[in-house]
Structure formats: C-alpha cells, structure tokens
C-alpha cells in the first residue's frame, strides 16, 4: 500500500525505516543491556525534587540518562503501568530506545522530546485536562509526546521539499511529522519495545489512532487551521455553569477531544517559550542556531538566500523575531488554554514575561541601530558640507583664474596693432 503511494524508491524507503540498524537494537543484549539493567536497578526520581509536575520544569540540571528515569516516573505517576500490565523492562527498553532515536542535532534532540512529554504530563495532571480523557488515551498521549520528533534531522519540512529528500518523496504533506509517526509505530512492532503489548486489538487500534492525531498535530500549518475550532469549544465551556456539564459536552464528542489534544500537542511543542527567562533565553539560542545551520545549508547546498529567521548574518534581529513569534504563533494557544483551564495560566504568565524581555532587547537593538543611522547621516551630511565648501573653493579659484586670464587678454588686446583690433 505504502509503495503504491510514494515516489521514493524501495532502497530509500528501506534506508528511512531501518531503525534497528540505526539504533543497533540487534546488539542490545551486550553493552546496552547492561545500561538497561542499571536503569532498572536505580531508584526513579522524586517528582517534587526535580519539579516534574511543574510548568517551569527545566531539563538543564539533569543528565540525558537521568531524563530516561524521569520519563519512566511519569508513566508510573499517571498509573498506567500496572493498569495496562506494562512490563517494566519493556517500558525501560522503549524509553531508552526512544532516547536513542533522537539525533544529536542542536535543538530537536532528546531533550526537546523529553520536554514535550513532561509538558503533556503536566497539562494532563497539574492542568487538570486529564478529566476529558480515559487512562488509555492519557497513556497514548504521553507516549506520543515523547516520540513526536524522533529522528528529526535538524531541518524543517520546507527544506525536505526543496532538497527533494527521500522523506519528501515518501510523504506528500506534514513530511517530518509523518516520518516521526511511522518511526514510532515501527518501534512498537518489536515485541521487546511494545509498551502496549497487553492491550486488546481494539485498544491497540485506539492507541495508534491517537499517535497519528497527536504527532501529526505538531505540524504548525495544521495548528493555524484548527485554532478557530478550539476557540469555539472554549467559548462554549465558558458559558456552562458546572464542570460536569463541560466534561459531558467534550467527552461525548471524539472530534472535540481530538481538537483539544491537538492544541495540547502544540502547547507542549512550543512550551520552551513559556519557561523562566533564564531557561527560555538559552533555549531560544539553541533553536536559532539550528535555524542558522539550515540557512547555511540553503546557501551552500541549495544555492538560495535564507529567510531572515534562518540567516545567521541577521542574528542581531533574534529578539525582534522572537517577539513576532510570540505574538503571531504562541499567544493564542496559551491565552485560550488559560481561559479554558485557569490551572494552565502559569504558561501564559511565563510567555508574557518572556515577551517583555525579548521586547526590551529588541528595543535596545533598535535604539542602537537608530544611533548608528543618525551617525551615518551626520557623517554623510558632513561630507556633503565639506564637499560643498570644497566645490565653492574650486569655483572661486577658477573664477579668480578666469578673471586674471581676462585681464591678461584685455591687456594683450590693448597692445595689439590697431589694424588687428579694429
């Protein structure tokens, strides 16, 4: 079926989907199995000790190994491990393999993947959005969040299309998102990694469907199309008198649940913009650096001029670009979620604080540019004045010379014989 719908060659498809070779899963029994045993033997972190349940959580103080254990803890916190009979060693191997599936790119790496999973957990539990979803749905949403950018290449969908990459040939739309989805589903085909192995057929089909909804929703192009639908749900719930009425309004309609889920994925994916300034400012530089790396590729490989956001020669414009990103992309989702559930307000507060910080830096940069422009203008005016004075001196000198020449001509004429002057 897949072969009939793609322009990619069989070799290209095989190279894309051969995750076992990439991750060396076939040799997991030796050195990597020892690391898995180590994780199994170690205590999982206390959620309170590392702020796992907080919107302001930061991964910076935690090692990548530590993040694997934090991820495991989250599944226990939502009480799905025992309920769905998930073998702990399978969950550990899956989490470890997901971490390995993320490439060592500047931003879209395992740390970003983990942060999206942690934010999904926090929206469900601290943000109290779990009340609209079953335990199975929450299980799928959390797992999908961890997987949402697996095997990201550090370049966006547009670059995949422009470079006619194998992924672009394989997937017609939402190119990277569909790749992340297929990669995630392929992992689950391995019984030693299938954390949903004890579900019945119907439950497993539900999980796969939710993976599709959640991961594809991280394509921002789709986010803009669904914003109005989400806003209508929030408007309707705001008019309801009781919480029970709102829960019933949403839970009886699978479409509403999926729209909210899609918006949750966007809120998770962009959550770095809501973190404390000391975290957000550093993460923004990582995002920008990855964009600049793509811009370099566009120049060298595609022979094209990158847009300002991807152009490292315009890095001083980052604060201004961040303000624009906050205003035109981010504000809506956090504003609406804060209206929908006041427990999510800390994300909006963080966003607004970061906007003030970026705006201050943008204004500071604009002020410097204005001073420089005024200095250049003054210098140009000074040069023009000096040139004008120089021109006047030259003209004056020429006039004097002409005047002297005229006198000489006049004198010479007076001295000529009369028959030549008559």
Question: Which positions are catalytic?
Answer: 108
Structure tokens at 419: 């028959």
Q: Is 363 annotated to bind ligand?
A: no
Spatial CA neighbour of 252 closest among 242, 244, 263: 244
Contact of 113 with 216, CB cutoff 8 Å: no
Contact of 108 with 152, CB cutoff 8 Å: yes
DSSP codes, 295-320:
HHHHHHTS--PPPGGG-GGGGGGHHH
d(CA 340, CA 128): 11
Q: Is 112 annotated to bind ligand?
A: yes
Q: Is 108 annotated to bind ligand?
A: yes
Q: Is 110 annotated to bind ligand?
A: yes
d(CA 321, CA 149): 23
Contact of 331 with 339, CB cutoff 8 Å: no
Q: Is 269 annotated to bind ligand?
A: yes
Buried b (16+ CB within 10 A) or exposed e, 43-82: ebbebeebebeebebbbeebeeeebbbbbbbbbebbebbe
Phi-psi label, residue 298: left if phi above 0, alpha if psi -120 to 50, beta otherwise? alpha
Spatial CA neighbour of 44 closest among 61, 13, 67: 67
Q: Is 200 annotated to bind ligand?
A: no
Q: Is 115 annotated to bind ligand?
A: no
Phi-psi label, residue 79: left if phi above 0, alpha if psi -120 to 50, beta otherwise? left
Q: How far apart are the first and last CA of the chain?
A: 111
d(CA 256, CA 214): 13
Q: Is 65 annotated to bind ligand?
A: no
Strands (DSSP E) found in 350-402: none
d(CA 266, CA 333): 8
Between the alpha carbon of residue 189 and those of residues 90, 176, 227, 310, 349, the distances in Å are 13, 20, 34, 37, 42
Q: Is 194 annotated to bind ligand?
A: no
Contact of 81 with 135, CB cutoff 8 Å: no
Binding site members for AMP: 108-112, 149, 269, 322
Binding site members for Zn(2+): 112, 148-149, 269
Binding site members: 108-112, 148-149, 269, 322
């Amino acid at each position: 079926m897949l072969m009939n719908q793609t322009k990619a060659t069989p070799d290209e498809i095989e190279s894309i989907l051969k995750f076992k070779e990439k991750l060396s899963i076939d040799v997991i029994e030796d050195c990597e199995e020892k690391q898995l045993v180590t994780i199994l033997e170690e205590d999982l972190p206390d959620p309170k000790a590392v702020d796992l349940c907080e919107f302001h959580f930061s991964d910076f103080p935690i090692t990548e190994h530590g993040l694997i254990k934090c991820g495991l803890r989250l599944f226990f916190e939502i009480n799905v491990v025992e309920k769905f009979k998930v073998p702990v060693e399978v969950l550990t191997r899956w989490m470890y393999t997901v971490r390995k599936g993320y490439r060592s790119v500047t931003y879209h790496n395992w740390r970003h993947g983990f942060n999206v999973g942690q934010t999904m957990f926090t929206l469900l539990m601290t943000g109290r959005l779990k009340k609209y979803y079953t335990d199975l749905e929450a299980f799928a949403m959390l797992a999908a969040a961890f997987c949402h950018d697996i095997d990201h290449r550090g370049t966006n969908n547009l670059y995949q299309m422009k470079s006619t990459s194998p992924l672009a040939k394989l997937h017609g739309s939402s190119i990277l998102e569909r790749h992340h989805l297929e990669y995630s589903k392929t992992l689950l085909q391995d019984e030693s990694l299938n954390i949903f192995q004890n579900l019945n057929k119907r439950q497993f089909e539900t999980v796969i469907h939710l993976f599709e909804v959640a991961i594809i929703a991280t394509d921002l192009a789709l986010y803009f199309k669904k914003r109005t639908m989400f806003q209508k749900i929030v408007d309707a719930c705001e008019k309801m008198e009781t919480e029970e009425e709102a829960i019933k309004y949403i839970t009886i309609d699978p479409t509403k649940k999926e729209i909210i889920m899609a918006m949750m994925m966007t809120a998770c994916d962009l959550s770095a913009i809501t973190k404390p300034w000391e975290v957000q400012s550093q993460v923004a530089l990582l995002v920008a650096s990855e964009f600049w790396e793509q811009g370099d590729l566009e120049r060298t490989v595609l022979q094209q001029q990158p847009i300002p956001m991807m152009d490292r020669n315009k890095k001083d414009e980052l604060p201004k670009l961040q303000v624009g990103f906050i205003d035109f992309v981010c504000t809506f989702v956090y504003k609406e979620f804060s209206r929908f559930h006041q427990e999510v307000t800390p994300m909006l507060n963080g966003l607004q604080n970061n906007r003030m910080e970026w705006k201050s830096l943008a204004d500071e940069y604009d002020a410097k540019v204005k001073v420089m422009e005024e200095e250049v203008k003054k210098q140009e005016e000074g040069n023009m004045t000096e040139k004008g004075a120089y021109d006047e001196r030259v003209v004056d000198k020429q006039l004097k010379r002409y005047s002297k020449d005229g006198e000489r001509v006049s004198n010479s004429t007076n001295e000529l014989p009369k028959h030549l002057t008559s």
